[in-house]
């Protein structure tokens, strides 16, 4: 029985770990061809071996690297009709300790990266009768809190970029954003390490009393990429377990 993404050809950035990995695995299981983008070659090859999909090393903050990777993806899959921008980095520091170098690193990956990937993929996306882009933003874009000023700004920028692209690129390209809350991924593993805030503190901030799992974000990405969401564009969906902050 064909999956919900049969015959689709989709780039997933940040595919080596966390939410990107979960998205890539689910999309491959649903019948899509997936171009796995990441700069961690070792982990990327593991995901490629698990899914049978194409691994492409790329630095999403570098324009030349992105252009080359998108060309390879289009060649490998015979085109591109979907993008999931899941690559991201988190630097949690007080505002007065946040250097311009940290600012640049976060903005380059979290906001410049999706911009570059979408621009490079746009000629291929426009060839498709219906293409999709899903940008992984953050609950911090909707409700910033102390220690995450630059991260919050990068993700708020991504929400704005999503809405603007949706209005420019319709009717044949749908663009949506997901704003995850606390998801148990390698990026925020320190929350559960010694000295981290731990489950009790996490549960106190979430109505559902638990962190989310990468697979739960992957399922929402699947909905926004599949035909079931055919009238959804410029959407910004909070997937945060009912965040209380």
Enzyme catalytic residues: 151
Query: Tokens 């050809």 appear where?
Result: 9
- State phi, psi for 85 to the nearest 5 degrees: -95, 95
Q: Are 60 and 87 in contact (CB under 8 A)?
A: yes
Distance CA 182, CA 184 (A): 7
- State phi, psi for 97 to the nearest 5 degrees: -105, 0
Task: Report the first-to-last Cα separation within the chain, whole angstroms.
Answer: 43
Q: Are 18 and 182 in contact (CB under 8 A)?
A: no
Tell me, what DSSP letter sits at residue 206?
A: B
- State phi, psi for 71 to the nearest 5 degrees: -60, -45
From residue 237, give the alpha-carbon distance in Å to each of 73, 85, 180. Answer: 28, 15, 8
């Amino acid at each position: 029985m064909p999956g919900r993404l049969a015959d689709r050809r989709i780039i997933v950035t940040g595919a080596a770990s966390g939410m990107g990995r979960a998205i890539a695995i689910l999309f491959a299981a649903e019948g899509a061809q997936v171009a796995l983008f990441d700069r961690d070659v070792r982990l990327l090859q593991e995901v490629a071996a698990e899914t049978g999909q194409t691994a492409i090393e790329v630095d999403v903050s570098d324009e030349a690297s992105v252009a080359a990777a998108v060309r390879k993806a289009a060649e490998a899959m015979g085109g591109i009709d979907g993008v999931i921008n899941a690559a991201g980095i988190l630097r949690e520091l007080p505002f007065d300790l946040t250097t311009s170098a940290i600012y640049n690193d976060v903005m380059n990956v979290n906001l410049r990266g999706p911009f570059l990937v979408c621009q490079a993929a746009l000629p291929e996306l426009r060839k498709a009768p219906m293409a999709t882009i899903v940008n992984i933003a953050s609950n911090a874009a909707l409700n910033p809190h102390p220690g995450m000023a630059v991260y919050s700004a990068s993700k708020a920028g991504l929400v704005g970029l999503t809405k603007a692209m949706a209005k420019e690129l319709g009717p044949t390209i749908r663009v949506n954003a997901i704003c995850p809350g606390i998801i148990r991924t390698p990026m925020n593993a320190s929350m559960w390490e010694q000295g981290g805030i731990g489950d009790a503190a996490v549960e106190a901030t979430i109505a559902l009393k638990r962190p989310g799992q990468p697979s739960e974000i992957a399922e929402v990405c699947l909905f926004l990429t599949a035909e079931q969401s055919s009238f959804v564009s410029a959407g910004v969906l909070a997937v945060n377990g009912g965040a209380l902050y």
